[in-house]
Structure 1
Amino acid sequence: MSLAELSRLQPRDIARYLRTSGWVEAGRVRYAMRWTLETADSPARVLLPALITLTDYATRVADLLYAVASVENRPARAVYTDMALIDADTQRVIVRTNAPPGTVAVADGLTTTAGINHLLLSAATSEALGENRFVLPGKKPKRARDLLAQALLEPGSEVFTIRIPLSPISGQLPLRHMSLPEPPFGRRVSQLLYRAAWAAHDAAARSLATQDLNGFAAGVNSGVTADLCAALAALGSTARDGFAVRFGWASKWSIPQTYNRPTITFGRALLPVLIEAADFLRMRNTAHHAHATVTGLVVALRQATQNSGGTVTILAGPGSSSDLLDRRVTVHLSEDRYRQAIRAHLLTESVTFDGEVTRQGNALVMSEPNLR
């Protein structure tokens, strides 16, 4: 990088990169801030110049950049790109194989790339669907496929970098005149992937100690799916000692303080658990919920044939069986009950049904319903 390029890096963007990469601010030194990172050998330290107006600002940034690149075992140009990129979230998948340094076997590289594809697609699909599922549908939503087409991948021998583009903020009023806008779809996918990956990691660690996979079912509320678990297992299948995923956030959009653990490390012992979890969630997808209750608004109606009833879809709300909350349940009704459901829909009134709920693919279906 030239000194001109380095002089354009803003201190706040460099600080954002350091913070989301695990570095910790450790005090001020005159016109610079000290940052440290715990490593396997000893703590690494860098100095971030606080003022872009310093005459030697670019030289100081160069020192910091090459120090960070050395610690991360990455090209300085790649680190510079991450620091300068303010309109894309970045995830780095770190996979160390048995190939010679600086290389990766073709088959291993293809496996890792396919795993990244499935991982990102699973998170984008979950966000696009807007609901929690044990197993994702085979046909992915167009919005998820479009995001995958726009995302960029920078493959490496050990580090595969994913860049998720974020929509620009256009026509935004000053914050005093409006509430904060909703983050763009790409940022919401990054956040869901963060939550889901951590939930899968923690469930796998607990399962390794207790031999109980139920933590993965609970993790579905955080975006864990059979598809995500299978993708994570695939990422580690070629690694000699597991793999890690490191999250970086574009500075254009703020990130809640709860997203403060940037690196998730999946040790090799967790990989078989993830494979078991994928099968476990697929089995749960066909589970029965005998004598369940669903209470909520009718959000869709479909008449079968004239005078023969129809099908309604209910968004399960408070009063429903706990494992149905916020899920859509399909109920087949007789003509009389279908008319009652139409009336409730027009009046925006809740309805309550009791019956046996089964999973049919990704759908929840209630049979022999009793209307309360």
Structure 2
Amino acid sequence: MAKTTIYAGLEIGTSKICVVVGEAKRDGTIKILGVGTAPSRGVRKGEIVDFDTVHTCLNDALVRAEDYSDVMIRNVFLGVSGGHIESVNNRGCYRLPADQSEITEDDVEEVKEIARNVPAPQDSISMHSVTRQYIVDGVEAVRQPIGRQARQLEADYHIVHGSLPRIQNSIKCVKEVPLEVEDVVFNGIAAAQVVLNREAKREGALMIDLGGGTADFVLYEDGMLTISGCVPLGGDHISQDIAMALQIPHGRAEALKITEGSCVYEDVPPGDMVRVEDDTGYVLGEVERAFLNEVIYLRVREILEQVHQRCEGHIGRLAAGVYLTGGSSLLKGIDVVAREVFGMKVTRAGSAPVSGVTATFENPQFSAPIGLIRYAQILDQEKPFLSPLKRLAHRMADLLSVAI
């Protein structure tokens, strides 16, 4: 029988806090045992600004996840986001000793350390160091260099780093629940594990996870992670724009965005009106649907254009196109705007099919938290083959010790 392991993923988002409990099997399948969500308060643009309020919301989500899954949660994989997250590609070069002609495991570890040694901004810490490819005597796209005859070995790495104080704050908040943090994961990388399949990554694809306060993105070329990052804008900013434009409470603006809004405004018939109400249901008046949609369009286009700018030079090589996920990807017409900005095929996608509680969790708003389960599964499967696992342990120890 295939071995199973139970993992818990935690996403502290701007709009919701989500705890997912999943059972991962060695054959690669995942069964979702329970999901607990709670409205998120005390979080702005993916970053915690009010610890006490977040504690309350997190406890609510945790209790619900434990009740649904019948699992006592003690450890979580923590997903993080925010404008502080950036990435860089770096290549390390190592020449084998003169008396050696075959690449050994020690040589691979040596070139990895060289490739990972990238100067980072002050107060930053490396969150992910992802191997893109090895280059053996100038031959690129080598997946397994050990045992090959060579004189020179290079390693091409994608490195994601974030603000150490902000990540420490997230860990501290979780530990005070109390929960132990197994690892810290960039939400964009987590979501990509269940949104993009191997073929899409090989053909070239850009995934954008549109949340309440952030838009996380990852870009793959030839199966290799090439660009990742975060734009600190999301669905909440669209709601704020509507609230300001119509002079209505934020909650009503959010509801209006979801029930009546669209990202397409040019084809709206003249005179098509939308009723505007306050929190009590009292009718404040009417607004032209074209105007409401234009407010939404302008902000959505700004978000997507910022992602496009960060991926400049790579967009034309994405045969699989753009994948939109996250709660804000449910906005009507957002795929139309994305095609306008990127000029290619656009797919609105949830997480890959999983078994368990209900297919509801294939909804795009659950891509990142379910992706945390997949990430944990992949990390666990790689453990027997990773001699530098101690490096991960040391990194987490450093994070946690400062966060206590």
TM-score (norm 2): 0.22
